Structure 1
C-alpha cells in the first residue's frame, strides 16, 4: 500500500496529512503561528519559523505511524497565496515575508500603473493589482528598502520556500505564479515585458511548472528534520484555494467551492481563462495545462470570528460562539456586519475599507454579534456569486470547505444566502487532501486528477437544504448590506484628514 503526504502552509497554521492511496486519511498534525504586524497596515511572517513548524508536523505523523515511512511515494503542497519571499545568493531569507494580508503598497500600485497603463496591465495578467500581491510588495521593497532589494537573488511564494528547504530546488507552480500578478495568465508564463518595463531583474523570478510536476527529492537534511526518507519525490503543489477545490473533487466546471479559512473565497475550475470585465474577481492558472480558476476573494473570513472571540468577547472557543449564535434567528435581529477588517478585494479592491456593525441597540448581546459576523462573512461570498452568475458561470452544486464546512449553522447560512444545497466531502483538511492528490497524480499513483478525485474524494450524506423563510430575510438584509460600502466609502479613508482636528 502506497501513501502520500499533503502539506498546507496556511496563514495561521500549517497542517500535514498522511493519506493512503485509496483516500483513507491515516492522520493529521497541525501547528499554529501568528502574523507579525509591526504597523497596522503590515502583515509579515518569518518563513523559517513556518518551515520548522511544518517539519514538526511531518515528524509527528511519522513518529505515530512508523510503518508507513517506507511506502510514502510523494509529498504535495498547498499554500497561502500572493506573498513575497526573498532569498539571497546563499539561499538565506533576507527579511520576513510580506504576505497576502499586507496593505502597505497602495502607492506602488499607482506607480506600476503609471509605467504600464492599467488596462494594458490587466489584459495580460487578467487581474487587478492589490496590496499584498508579490509584485506590489516587491516594488515597495525596491522603493523603501533598497538595501534589502540589492541582496535579492530569487523571489518566490511562501509554500515554494518550504519546498526549497526540503529539496534544495527553486521553482513555483502556475497557480501561485499567476497569483503574483506579474504573469501572463493566458499563456502561463511570467510577464517578461512588464518585468522589463518596471525595471526588475528577470533573474529574480524562478521557473514555473504545473502543480503535479516533480520538483525534486527530499534531501539528507530534510530527512533528519522530518523523518521522510531521502529521495522521496516532491511535487510543486499549488495555491490553497485551488487545493481546497481539488480536495473536494472539483477539477471540472459545474461546481463551486465556498471556502472559509483565515480569508474566504468562492471559486470554480474553468477550461479557459475567463475573467470579469471589471476585474472584481481573480483569474489564475489551475493545477494543469487546460484549467484556470475564477475566484472571488474576501480578506476577512474566519479571522473576523477570531478577532471577535479574542479581542471583543473574550471567549474561549468557536463551538461556544456557535452555540450562542444558533439561538438567534436569521438576520441577527437586524444587526448587520460588514467584514472589511483588513480592507477588501472582491468586489471593491479597497485596502482602506473598514468593518461596520450596523443597527446596534441595547437589545443586542454577544449572540447577535456572533451570528451577524457569520452572516457578514457569507454576504461577502454572495457578492462573488452574483458576479459569477452575471458572467454566465453555470453550476449544479456548491461545496463548503474550511471552517465554513464544519458547523451546521455556517452551512445553513450559506444554503439560505446562496439559495442552493450545500455539499461537503467526508473528512476535513481538503487543502491537504488536494495536495496529497496532486502528489499522487505527479508520482504516477493515478493517471489523472479525475481518476484520483473519483477514487479519493467521498461526498458526505449531510446535505444542507435552503430554508425558504430565511431566504426571504437574507434577500432583504443583503440589499442593505450592499449599501454599506458605497455609502461609507468616503469615510473609510478620512484618518489622514481628521488627524489634525
Structure 2
C-alpha cells in the first residue's frame, strides 16, 4: 500500500493528513500558530512557524499511523494565498510575512492601477489590484522598509516557502502565483510588462511550476526532522482553493463547488481563459495543467450566520452548549418556519465590506424591509437567504463569462445542512451535491502528490479515483425557483442604489470616531458617481492658461456662453467627438467670486466643466424635483481640484461653481451643446406642472431660492426651498 501526505497550510494552523492510495484518511494532525497584528488592519505571521508546524505535523501523522515511511509516495502542500515571504541571498527570511487579510496597502493598489492601467491590468492578470494580493505588499515594503527590500533576493508565497525548506528548491507554483497581480494569466508566465511598470526586478521572482509537477525531493535534513525518507517526492502543490477544488472533485468543465464557511466561495473550472472585464471575480490558473478557474469570494457568508447566532440567539446558544447540541440546527429549524422571501425582508451580507462581485470595502450589512411584523425567525431566514443570494450574484457573473456549471458541490456548513442545501439548489437553480471526505484542501494536495509520484497519469484520473461522492444532494424546486427569481431581482438592485450611502456612512463613522475628515467630498469619490464623472486626457493645462487671461471679477460672477479663445480646433474636436458623441459644442467660461448656492439648474444634455482653479460644485439629483420644487437638503458639495475635466450627467442639477476655502475666485470653462443656455425666455407658459414652467433658456431649467437674485426677480417658476446654502 502506498500513502500520500496532504499538508493544508492555513492562517490559524497547519493540518497534515495522511491518505492511503484510495483517498481514505489514515491520520491527521493540526498545529496552530500565532497571528501578529502590530497595527489595526495589519496581519503578519512568522514563516518559520509554518515550517515548524509542517515538520511537527508530518512527524505526528507518521507516528500515529505507524506506517513505513518508505511507503509514502509523495507529499504536496495546499496553502493560504498571497502572503509575502522575502528571502535574502542566503535564503533567510527577512521579515514576517504580510498576509492575505492585511489591509495596509490601499495606497499601493492605487499606484499599481495608475502605473499599469486598470483595464490593462485586468487584461494581463485577469484581476484588479487588491490589498490582499502580493504585488501591493512588495511595493509597501519597498516604500516603507527600503533596507529590507534592498536585501531581498527571492520572493515566495507561504506554501512555496515551506516547500523550499523541505526540498531546498526555490519555485512558485502557478495557481498560487495567479494571486500575486504579477502573472500573465493567459500565458502562465511572469508578466514582463507589469514587472517593468512596477519597477520590480524579475530576478526576485522564482521559476514557475505546475501544481502536479515534481518540485523537488525531501532533503536529508528534512527527512531527519520529519521521519520521511530522503528523496521522497514533493509536488508543486496549490493555493488553498485550487487544492480544495480537486478535493471536491472539480477538475473538468461544467464542475464547480460552493463553500459556505466564514467566507463564501463559488469556484468553477474552465478549459479556456475567461476574464470578467470588471474584475468582479478572480480568474486564476487551475491546478490542472493548461486550465483555469474562476472564483468569487463573499467575505461574510458564514460569518453573518455566526453574528446572528451570537447576537440573536445568545441564550439558546448557551443552552445548546450545555446540552451538547448545535445552535445552528435550532436556527435553521426556526428559519424553515418562515416562507421563502422572509415576508419581504432582504439581508445584504456586507458585514466586513465586500469583495465579490461588489468590490467595496465600505459596504455594510443591511436588513431591507424590516417591519413590526418580522420576528427573529424572519431575520434568521433573511440572513441565510442573503448569503445564498450573494452566491447567486457571483454565479451570474460566471454565467456572463460563459462559465455555466451544471452541478455545484456544496462544502462547509452549507453543504452539511439539508435546509441550506435545498435553499442553494432553489436560489442557484442547479443540482447541489456533496462529497464524502471533509478534507478538501489536504485531499487536493494529496491528489497532486499522487500525480507527481506517477501513481496516476494525470490530475483528472487521480480525482476520479480518490474523491468519493456523498449521498446528500438537492434538486431545484420549480415553485421556489420562481419565487427566488423575483427576490433576487430586488436583491441585486440594492447595492447599486445604496453604494453612495455606504461611503457617506464611512465618512460619518470616521467623524464619530474622532478622525479628521475632509470638509467636502472629491469629484473622484464614489458619492460623485451618480452626478457625473471625471473625463481623462483633456488638455486641462491649455484651458487653465487661457482662463487666466479672461475676465474674473473678485466680487461677482461673470458668465460667457461662447468664448473664441477657448474654442480652439483641438479642444473643440476632442470634446465634441470624444465626450459629446459628435454633437457640436460651444466652450465658454464662468468665473468670479461665489460662496452661495443661489439657484440650481438642469441641462437637458450633459455639461462639462474644466477647472482653472480649485473649485466647489453644489449638486443634486434631478429625482429631487417634485412638482417644480426642490429642497436644498438634497444638495451636496464636491471639491474639484485645478486642472480637472468633469462631466455632469443630464440627470444632475448644479449651479455656478464656488471658489474653495483658500481661494478668492474660481475660473471654470463650461462646455455645452452649441446654441444652448443663451438668452432668457420671457413669458413662459407655466400651466400645470409642465416642464417648460421651469425653462428659462434653451436647454435649461432653473430652480431659484426666494433670497437669490433669480428668485427675487421671478426668473423661474421653479422653486428652491430650504436653507439658501452659504459655504
Task: Output the TM-score relative to the length of structure 1.
Answer: 0.91
Q: Indicate if the aligned counterparts of 2:421 and 2:473 stay in contact, CA closer than 8 A.
A: no
Q: Indicate if the aligned counterparts of 2:17 and 2:29 stay in contact, CA closer than 8 A.
A: yes
Q: Once the 2 structures are TM-superposed, how far is the Cα of residue 447 of structure 1 from its aligned partner?
A: 0.7
Q: Indicate if the aligned counterparts of 2:9 and 2:15 stay in contact, CA closer than 8 A.
A: yes
More helix per residue = 1
Q: Once the 2 structures are TM-superposed, how far is the Cα of residue 361 of structure 1 from its aligned partner?
A: 6.1
Residue aligning to 1:143: 143
Q: Which runs of 5+ in 2 are unaligned?
A: 513-727
Matched, 1:399 2:409: yes
Query: Which secondary structure state, in structure 1, belongs to the residue aligned with residue 334 of structure 2?
Result: coil
Paired with 1:101 and 1:5, the residues of 2 have a C-alpha distance of 27
Paired with 2:310 and 2:34, the residues of 1 have a C-alpha distance of 13
Matched, 1:6 2:10: no
Q: Indicate if the aligned counterparts of 1:346 and 1:384 stay in contact, CA closer than 8 A.
A: yes
Q: Deviations over 1:398-442 (max 9, x none)?
A: 111234323323322211211222111212112111110110001
Task: For 1:453-472, list aligned pairs within 5 A.
Answer: 453-472=463-482
The partner residue of 2:447 within 432, 437, 441 is 437
Q: Once the 2 structures are TM-superposed, how far is the Cα of residue 365 of structure 1 from its aligned partner?
A: 6.8
Q: Once the 2 structures are TM-superposed, how far is the Cα of residue 333 of structure 1 from its aligned partner?
A: 5.5
Residue aligning to 1:319: 326
Task: Tell me how many residue pairs correspond in the alignment.
Answer: 501
Residue aligning to 1:187: 187
Q: Once the 2 structures are TM-superposed, how far is the Cα of residue 483 of structure 1 from its aligned partner?
A: 3.3
Residue aligning to 1:205: 205
Q: Deviations over 1:244-294 (max 9, x none)?
A: 111122211011211234432212221221112322221111124321112
Q: Deviations over 1:137-160 (max 9, x none)?
A: 222222233233233222222211
Q: Deviations over 1:198-222 (max 9, x none)?
A: 1112222111100011112223443
Paired with 1:294 and 1:145, the residues of 2 have a C-alpha distance of 34
Residue aligning to 1:383: 393
Larger relative contact order (C-alpha < 8 A, sep ≥ 6)? 1
Q: Deviations over 1:12-53 (max 9, x none)?
A: 343222111122222333344564444443333333333333
Q: Once the 2 structures are TM-superposed, how far is the Cα of residue 108 of structure 1 from its aligned partner?
A: 1.2
Matched, 1:414 2:421: no
- 435-444 vs 383-392, which deviates more? 383-392
Query: Which secondary structure state, in structure 2, belongs to the residue aligned with residue 6 of structure 1?
Result: strand
Residue aligning to 2:76: 76
Paired with 1:197 and 1:416, the residues of 2 have a C-alpha distance of 46
Paired with 2:121 and 2:155, the residues of 1 have a C-alpha distance of 21
Matched, 1:451 2:461: yes
Matched, 1:293 2:293: yes
Q: Once the 2 structures are TM-superposed, how far is the Cα of residue 386 of structure 1 from its aligned partner?
A: 0.7
Task: Output the TM-score relative to the length of structure 2.
Answer: 0.64
CA RMSD of aligned residues (A): 2.7
Residue aligning to 2:605: none
- 31-40 vs 475-484, which deviates more? 31-40
Q: Indicate if the aligned counterparts of 2:110 and 2:129 stay in contact, CA closer than 8 A.
A: no
Q: Once the 2 structures are TM-superposed, how far is the Cα of residue 123 of structure 1 from its aligned partner?
A: 1.2
- 12-21 vs 487-496, which deviates more? 487-496
Residue aligning to 1:162: 162
Query: Which secondary structure state, in structure 1, belongs to the residue aligned with residue 296 of structure 2?
Result: strand
Q: Once the 2 structures are TM-superposed, how far is the Cα of residue 308 of structure 1 from its aligned partner?
A: 5.3
Matched, 1:122 2:132: no
Q: Relative to structure 1, is the Cα distance of residues 115 and 383 closer, same or farther in structure 2, using a 3 angstrom cutoff?
A: same
Q: Indicate if the aligned counterparts of 1:130 and 1:349 stay in contact, CA closer than 8 A.
A: no
Q: Deviations over 1:270-325 (max 9, x none)?
A: 12211123222211111243211122222334344455556886647793223322
Paired with 1:365 and 1:86, the residues of 2 have a C-alpha distance of 52
Q: Deviations over 1:183-208 (max 9, x none)?
A: 11111111122212211122221111
Query: Which secondary structure state, in structure 1, belongs to the residue aligned with residue 164 of structure 2?
Result: helix
Q: Relative to structure 1, is the Cα distance of residues 488 and 375 closer, same or farther in structure 2, using a 3 angstrom cutoff?
A: same
Residue aligning to 2:260: 260
Q: Indicate if the aligned counterparts of 2:82 and 2:99 stay in contact, CA closer than 8 A.
A: yes
Q: Deviations over 1:307-354 (max 9, x none)?
A: 555688664779322332222134455554322233322212223333
Q: Relative to structure 1, is the Cα distance of residues 308 and 324 closer, same or farther in structure 2, using a 3 angstrom cutoff?
A: closer
Q: Once the 2 structures are TM-superposed, how far is the Cα of residue 463 of structure 1 from its aligned partner?
A: 1.4
Q: Relative to structure 1, is the Cα distance of residues 79 and 195 closer, same or farther in structure 2, using a 3 angstrom cutoff?
A: same
Query: Which secondary structure state, in structure 1, belongs to the residue aligned with residue 273 of structure 2?
Result: coil
Paired with 1:416 and 1:201, the residues of 2 have a C-alpha distance of 50
Matched, 1:474 2:481: no
Q: Deviations over 1:145-179 (max 9, x none)?
A: 32332332222222112212222221111111111
Paired with 1:34 and 1:400, the residues of 2 have a C-alpha distance of 30
- 434-443 vs 446-455, which deviates more? 446-455
Which of these two proteins has the greater Rg computed from alpha carbons? 2
